[in-house]
Amino acid sequence: MDLFAETSLRDELRRTMISKASAWRAPAVIFAVTAVLVIVLKPILDGEVSSGMLFMLGITLVGARSGLTPALISALLASAIFNFFLADPVLTFRMSSGEDLAPPLIFTACALVSGLLAGRLKDKTFQLGRTNLQLESLLETSRLLQAAPDVAAIEAALATTVPGRLGFRLSLYGLKDGTTEALPASDRRPEALALARQAIEGDGIVRHRDSIAFRLDGSRSCVGALVVENVSGAQVDPAFLEALASLVGLALERARFASVIAEAEANVRTEELKSALLSSVSHDLRTPLTAISASASSLIEFGSRFDRETSKALLQGIVDECDRLNRFTANLLELSRLQAGGPSIAGQVLSVNDVVRAVVQRLRTRFAGREISVSSTDPEILVTADTALFELAVTNVIQNALIYSEPDMPVLVQSSCDRNQCVLTVTDQGCGVPEAEQTRVFERFYRVKRSEPSPQGSGLGLAIAKGFVEAFEGTVKLMSPVIGGKGTTVTITLPVVSEVKA
């Protein structure tokens, strides 16, 4: 894989040997036309010099067109024709004087010059084409490597550009805990791995037969090695390979930094989530526990002095707060299971209208006096979902609407079929959600920041609804405001089951 060497006489002879008969057609035609012109125009031409110059022109054209070997053969034939037909005495071969030797020597020199120059020109043209191809490949590889976010993308970029265009096989090797290891799409043969290890531990460039290994240096340290195997035998400028190795080294270092940054950001998000979880749990557990403790203490200390209604109200408060704790714990556990990538949830065919009616009935008991209007355009809407989780999702959405709207304002629950989709909407007439925060309300533990006093939830309701619905290929969207600059509509969409097997 060295630079192109200057063309030697032996190399040019070997390269211009024509094995196919059809390839001799052009030089044969050129020489035949030249010979005919020389013989036909002999009476007109002024002596042997003019005839010799015509032969020189023909030999030069043959050399320029077909290379050194056809030119030398043309020179030999021209010498024979010139000596036999043109030089005095004609129709006789004679090599007895210097004048007889001059035409063969001149014709041969002409053939050598034209053939070698033509060969050099072809070499330079080929070399320029190869250099241009290398530069194009390098630019394309650089562009793809700059956009590569990880090691797999780097290997894909190299496989797309360099091997396909130049006929190389590239293998990448990284460092892990000081040990050289092949990356997923690279050559895992012991000899290739040993070559990469030598490049990393040695001078940086190691050659072995048709392979060459480069140490990949980043801005701070070595990040691996690149082994290039020339499977096609193509010639290439080593500077191109060194430039390619530099690009790959920087790309690998950038991918490593990106991985470290992503891991750090994930750790930061985890810490933020832990802080939010602790804050939410401490708040959402403390509030009902405080109420339970106060009611229980009052019953223990003053139970004999309370009338029946007061005792019943305190006990009912304990029951309600226990239910609140149970819902909060269930929501938290189910959401964690979904987002942790646990086992897929098995669904069954259920009626959306039946689930909505059951949820509304329970909520009417808890929110006594609140108006919840339920309507449906279809008597039977069937979807596939887990009954308990779907009920929990619907409960969270309707409960949010009740909590964040005025007691005298109704909550509207509507279900319908739109093509192959079940559309369930819950609309309230509360304070609404600012546009800038509408995408964040589905995040765990996120609470909308308001200047005016408002109820404080756990920040889990909509996040849980979204997680459960999306687990069954559905969507949850929020729109606010909806009525007179106020209110919020949450829309749940799920695929409809068209046929139910018995």
Strand runs (DSSP E) across 330-419, as ranges? 348-351, 372-376, 382-385, 411-418
Secondary structure (3-state) at 495:
strand
pLDDT of residue 353: 93
Residue 378: Cβ within 10 Å count: 13
For 301-331, the pLDDT digits (tens) are 887 788 888 888 888 888 878 877 786 677 6
Q: What is the pLDDT of residue 166?
A: 66
- At the topology level, CATH places domain 149-260 in Beta-Lactamase (3.30.450)
Q: Does domain 269-339 have CATH number 1.10.287.130?
A: yes
Q: How far apart are alpha carbons 321 and 313 in whole angstroms?
A: 12
Q: What is the dihedral of CA 364, 365, 368, 370, to 10 degrees?
A: -10
Q: For 103-159, what is each residue's pLDDT tens digit? A: 888 888 887 787 777 777 777 776 777 777 777 777 777 888 887 888 888 888 877
Residue 449 pLDDT: 62
Two domains, one topology: 269-339 and 348-495: no
Distance (Å) of CA 222 to CA 115, 144, 175, 201: 49, 22, 8, 10
What does the radius of gyration of the chain's CA atoms come to, in whole angstroms? 44
Strand partners, 182: 173
Report residue 270 as tokens.
């985890």
| Intervals of the chain under pLDDT 50 | 1-7, 453, 501-502
* Residue whose token pair is 């060459």: 212
What is the pLDDT at residue 455?
A: 53
Q: What is the pLDDT of residue 245?
A: 81
- Model pLDDT, residue 496: 93
Tell me the three-class secondary structure of 194-242, residue by residue.
HHHHHHHHCCCEEEECCEEEEEEECCCCEEEEEEEECCCCCCCCHHHHH
The domain locations on the chain are 9-129, 149-260, 269-339, 348-495
Which pLDDT score is estimated for 373? 93
pLDDT of residue 335: 57
pLDDT at 502: 42
Distance from C-alpha of 261 to C-alpha of 39, rounded to nearest angstrom: 84
How high is the pLDDT of residue 270?
65
Cis amide bond preceding 481, omega within 30: yes
Q: In the prediction, which pLDDT does 1 show?
A: 38
CATH H-level superfamily of 348-495 = Histidine kinase-like ATPase, C-terminal domain (3.30.565.10)
| Rounded distance between C-alpha atoms, residue 327 and residue 395, angstroms | 10
Can you tell me whether residue 488 is helix, strand or coil?
strand
CB under 8 Å, gap of 24 or more: what pairs does 434-441 form?
Answer: 434/480, 435/480, 438/478, 438/479, 438/480, 441/478
